[in-house]
């Protein structure tokens, strides 16, 4: 039997800790043009970014533009836009990847599992039956079938169409106020 190798060079910064910085990763992404391939949608008070270290293919985060840590810190318009953008993200993920389910969640505080404590964000993780396999359980490694820039290229036009009134099902506008680059 031959030992197979799975090369994942994009994970090196994560596993070595080199990816850690004192700057807020979300604020940096919003201000940095190099992060544009990861940002799939920009709304009036929040944006949608691919998770750099995804749990599954299509793992997105809805993030307020303003640097806030909790729901209590959010203004009513930010909360409304965050929920509408989370809904838009669900629609885009369903259309693009046809998952069997989607985990949606917010982790507030380290004890709750938050990896980025200082900037509120909502995770959306597409799920399929059997998507956790021996690689994750035994090897502590996730196998993703698509590179992040390709995932972004697939999602961006779907977000754009849905945000401009091409919502699946009823064809109505979904309530998200968007701004394009």
Among candidate residues 59, 119, 121, 123, the one labeled active-site is: 121
Task: Give residues with Cβ within 8 angstroms of 41, minimum separation 6.
Answer: 47, 48, 85, 88, 89, 92, 156, 159, 160, 163, 178
Task: Tokens for 52, please give them.
Answer: 């750099």
Name the CA dihedral angle for 151, 7, 10, 129, rounded to a multiple of 10 degrees: 40
Query: Phi and psi for 126 in degrees, rounded to 5?
Result: -65, 145
Q: Give ∠ CA 68-38-161 in degrees, rounded to 5.
A: 95
State yes or no: is 119 an active-site residue: no
Whose CA is closest to 21, among 149, 112, 115, 107?
115
Where does 12-68 have alpha helices with state H? 12-16, 25-31
Which residues are part of the catalytic machinery? Answer: 121
């Amino acid at each position: 039997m031959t030992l197979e190798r799975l090369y994942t060079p994009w994970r090196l910064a994560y596993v070595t800790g080199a990816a850690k910085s004192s700057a807020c990763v979300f604020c940096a992404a919003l201000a940095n043009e190099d992060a544009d391939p990861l940002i799939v949608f920009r709304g009036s008070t929040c944006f949608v970014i691919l998770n750099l270290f995804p749990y599954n293919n299509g793992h997105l985060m809805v993030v307020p533009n303003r640097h806030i840590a909790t729901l209590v810190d959010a203004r009513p318009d930010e909360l409304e836009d965050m929920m509408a953008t989370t809904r838009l993200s669900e629609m885009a993920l369903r259309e693009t990847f046809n998952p069997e389910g989607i985990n949606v969640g917010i982790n507030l505080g380290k004890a709750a599992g938050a990896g980025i404590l200082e900037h509120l964000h909502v995770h959306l993780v597409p799920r399929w039956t059997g998507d956790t396999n021996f690689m994750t359980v035994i090897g502590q490694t996730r196998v993703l079938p698509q590179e992040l820039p390709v995932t972004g290229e697939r999602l961006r036009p779907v977000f754009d169409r849905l945000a401009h009134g091409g919502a699946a099902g009823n064809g109505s506008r979904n309530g998200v106020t968007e701004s394009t680059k």
